[in-house]
Structure 1
């Protein structure tokens, strides 16, 4: 527990290095470039360095409450590209065609659609079921949105636990742990070797897992107050149309939800000594107990290769 608590103050200012795990590898980002390092089936490490695709080049998109949703979208785009590259390498197709704009759009749409179905539509239907059993009020009542939020959290935790039993996903979680260890070593000035990174924690306070938790938590609060308020302006009379209207409303509300979640994370980093910020950051660290596993030295070696590519001084291709 003491080691865990020591991580909380380290929601520090604004280091530029971050990353994500991919299939048999790690993607690392430093400012406007990223590097993907993947272990090929033959054992060699393949590194691909490229520019970071950004949607926030315009200064007005860097303003608070405007930047959160574009940052989420650009992270998804770069993440899907990295996953696609790692999947090609995993089956020895690293010379295959890069995913095109249409395929990228369809992949992102499918990913977002699945996430929204799982974490917006399904919890809403569950809350309707609770109302049908007399355990909840209507959509205008706080109890409806409490059930919605509780089920959303259970779905999220259950989903993470369920996929953790899949061998391929467990490998991804191990690479996730390797990514964090290497970033720790880099930030602390430790030797950039497997031995130098091995002793660091697999948990990191700036992990994107915290963003997902903030999105879920903030959506509970905003839905509880905004949905009843918006229904005072317009509410379809037909029951099923009204429920469909509310679901669509929740989908659009994900834009301000994600924007607000991003600002909360930024504030937590800026005021990391505040007891309140430490408290709201703690669930993200606990969640990483599920989404990271202890890596071996070979996996740490891949993460080191990705970091070397990301922070190298030569321009990205």
Structure 2
């Protein structure tokens, strides 16, 4: 009996380093997901007459969506491609009150966040799969899949929200307040909110620049570029094959980067109307106004996209510049993933009676 216990303890001790290594790799992937989740939100510029393709880079894959469907394609460690697809309802179809201006932007963004988390969860399950899992799947003994539990996803979302509030709301306001205490010129409301906005944009650019240096994020940005190239191929040529996608640009005006910059610009204007003088009042006002800012930003992007004039070019250009950081040139295997995701989403759209047109 004692010999059996000794052997069991010896086995457990020998297995500890491998378990710790595996846990460390899992934590690294979870950190990548956590930072990517709030970074790569895609604004969905909706139109009832057209199907506008949107997407998001995920772990070793791409999510593509149409107005009534979406699909996620992920490269497994074994080299094969996993694809999942499902139907979607527009937020305004489920809740008619989300058709109204300002409110519809909140509905679209809420759906985008929920869909992004769902896509990230699926990609994590596939990307974390052991290479030997494919063989087990073929033999019918797949076993339990690695992935992200509900509490991990909830923790990621809570971290992203807290990070956003502290980094983009609290910190710029705090630094602007310090400058106001030192320089009397910033007592002026316009000057104060201008410097607050500039600090916020500088922090945003610095954050993106730091992320772009990480190996994991470089890979993610390559898939981001693949998503843009395939969307362009479909919109410009009416098809999404490898040759057409390869020749397309990785910069797209409907990227989430443009939306985030518009949010920051509109915030600078709206904050000037806050009547508060205390730090606590200004900070609380920024939190309360966040839904209004998101809704107004969506309406601005929507109007500019429909007009396709100078306003649209003005709104899209800063985002195109920033995509030199948030996208990288993909290889053919990454383009293949993006094409598979788009084809699966369009197939689901057809099954629901959607008419596929070039946006």
TM-score, normalised to structure 2, is 0.75
1:202 is the counterpart of 2:266? no
Task: State whether residues 68 and 258 of structure 1, in contact with CA within 8 Å, keep that contact through their aligned partners in structure 2.
Answer: yes
Which whole-Å CA distance do the structure 2 matches of 1:188 and 1:149 have between them?
A: 36
1:37 is the counterpart of 2:73? yes
Which whole-Å CA distance do the structure 2 matches of 1:191 and 1:69 have between them?
A: 32
- Aligned to 2:186, what secondary structure does the other structure show? coil
Which whole-Å CA distance do the structure 2 matches of 1:143 and 1:183 have between them?
A: 41
1:213 is the counterpart of 2:248? no
How far is the alpha carbon of 1:304 from its aligned partner? Answer: 0.5
Aligned to 1:95: 145
Aligned to 2:287: 251
Task: State whether residues 230 and 335 of structure 2, in contact with CA within 8 Å, keep that contact through their aligned partners in structure 1.
Answer: yes
Which whole-Å CA distance do the structure 1 matches of 2:217 and 2:185 have between them?
A: 37
Structure having greater relative contact order (Cα 8 Å, sep ≥ 6): 1
- Residues 218-297 of structure 1: matches in 2 within 5 Å? 218-224=266-272, 226-228=273-275, 231=276, 242-272=278-308, 274-297=309-332
Aligned-pair RMSD on alpha carbons? 2.3
Q: Can you list the C-alpha shifts for 1:178-227, whole angstroms capped at 9, x where unaligned? A: 00111111122355322221000101111111111100111011112x21
Aligned to 2:135: none
Aligned to 1:5: none
Aligned to 2:222: 174
Match of 2:64 among 28, 31, 40: 28
How far is the alpha carbon of 1:18 from its aligned partner? Answer: 0.7
What is the aligned length? 290
Q: Can you list the C-alpha shifts for 1:27-65, whole angstroms capped at 9, x where unaligned? A: 000122211111111111111112337643212202111
Match of 2:83 among 21, 39, 47: 47
- Aligned to 1:137, what secondary structure does the other structure show? helix
Which whole-Å CA distance do the structure 1 matches of 2:46 and 2:89 have between them?
A: 25
Change (3 A) 1:301 1:180: same
Change (3 A) 1:135 1:150: farther
- Aligned to 2:120, what secondary structure does the other structure show? helix
TM-score, normalised to structure 1, is 0.84
Task: State whether residues 81 and 99 of structure 1, in contact with CA within 8 Å, keep that contact through their aligned partners in structure 2.
Answer: no
Match of 1:128 among 158, 177, 189: 177
Aligned to 1:239: none
- Contiguous gaps of at least 5 residues in structure 2: 1-44, 131-143, 353-359
Q: Can you list the C-alpha shifts for 1:88-111, whole angstroms capped at 9, x where unaligned? A: 2111079357754x6554432321
Aligned to 2:237: 189
Task: State whether residues 128 and 146 of structure 2, in contact with CA within 8 Å, keep that contact through their aligned partners in structure 1.
Answer: no
Which whole-Å CA distance do the structure 2 matches of 1:98 and 1:49 have between them?
A: 19
Aligned to 2:3: none
